[in-house]
Amino acid sequence: MTTITRFAPSPTGRLHVGNIRTALHNWMLARKAGGRFMLRIDDTDAERSREEYVDAIREDLAWLGLSPDGEERQSLRLAKYEAAFEALKAAGRVYPAYETAQELELKRKIQLGRGLPPIYDRGALKMTSEERSAKEAEGVLPHWRFKLDHDEPIGWEDGVRGAQKFDPAQLSDPVIRRADGSWLYMLPSAVDDLDMGVTDVLRGEDHVSNTAVQIQMFTALIAAQYAAAKMPSFAHEALLVGKEGKLSKRLGSLGCDAFRERDIEPEAVIALLARLGTSQPVEPIAERARLVDTFDLSTFGRAPAKFDDTELDRLNAAIVHQIDFAEVEGRLPDGMDEAGWHAVRPNLTHVTEAADWWRLVTGPVEQPDFSDEDRAFLALAVDALTWSDTPWQDLTASLKESTGRKGKDLFLPLRRALTGMDHGPDMKELLPLIGEDRSRDRLRAAASG
């Protein structure tokens, strides 16, 4: 059977780092199995869904290189949900309920006050047909609940959490449809998974209780309408927390737009999130194939996964140091060629910093004040400079022999005169880029003070 995974964001805001991690792991699960990764836009909430966020989701996935193999939109599948709803209603698995939000809240408070779990008491099932008719005569429209089978225990082997067991009598019958006819998450999601042939549902551990309910929903749908379908496997990964070990509101807003503003490479985001929360080391691996080959749900831990910006910056710098010129040519300053990129790359933490280092080549540079002794040394450097394939090596060798200087005393005044800085790219690579005329002019200016 072909492995099919799905990423199902709601277009009510931008993707955040937790969403991105879920999308990535579903993409990796599908790619490792040679399967298909689907994007499903969960846009049944017409009031909160925005087309601009649909576009942003697609753009973010494209930036990350997580191309879906197909896309579905729930807003175009309403007839599917209606048909499934009618099939479940005919099977006696959904029922109308008339309590208001205030009445339900009062029930919960009473149960909690008695030390009982706040589970829906199925009061709607105890209503007579006359009582239901009276409610509707008053203009009270029902919402609809899925009726759990209390005689059928719920269990599954979770891909991350292992064996899971739930007593359905300890769960509330979930509301699947509002009084205005709009859908909540549970039923459309189950219908889509069966209809799209999803084989593996990988999502956050905050969905564990949803899965317990949906397993009975899948069973009921297969019996009522989808006889040829199979229930997917489930895995629930630990949620992300901040480096301080607490759930962070910031993680809820940190997304691809923020990463782009910070000039973070998508490969760095992928390298971090691919293994965050697993027993495998987080490494600056830019090759997707390596990450996919080592992807394994059995390495996922139960403890919350800690997201650390410092680690992301470290990975980004290491990734930048691996990037070939051809991959960044269009992002580099005018005039910077492959030799220039190779020279400045080891000094970068972000690609955009290349422009700052390239100014050491194009100039002008602001030179520091030199001592009389160093100015005399730099005057000798003007005469000692000869141009060859190895101008820096030739210059320093000549000056070492003629002045006896070595180490810092030899190299630092030359670097300061030529670049205006105490540190930077390797001068063996930088000096040929600066060129003979500019190099001689800078040495002469430094010597003259």
Binding residues for ATP: 249
Q: How many whole angstroms separate alpha carbon 299 and alpha carbon 308?
A: 20
Q: Which of 99, 93, 17 is nearest to 60 (CA)?
A: 17
Annotated binding site: 249
Locate all alpha helices (DSSP H) within 276-404, ordered by sequence: 288-293, 309-320, 325-328, 338-344, 354-362, 372-384, 391-403
CA 278 to chain centre: 15
| DSSP state string for 240-295 | EEETTSS--GGGGT--HHHHHHTT--HHHHHHHHHHTTBSSPP-----HHHHHHT-
Give the bridge partners for 345, in sequence order: none
In the chain, helix, strand, coil percent, each to 5?
50, 10, 35
Given a contact cutoff of 8 angstroms between Cβ atoms, the answer to whether 175 and 143 are in contact is yes
Rounded to whole angstroms, how far apart are CA atoms 448 and 193? Answer: 77
Which of 293, 294, 297, 165 has the alpha carbon at shortest distance from 237?
A: 297
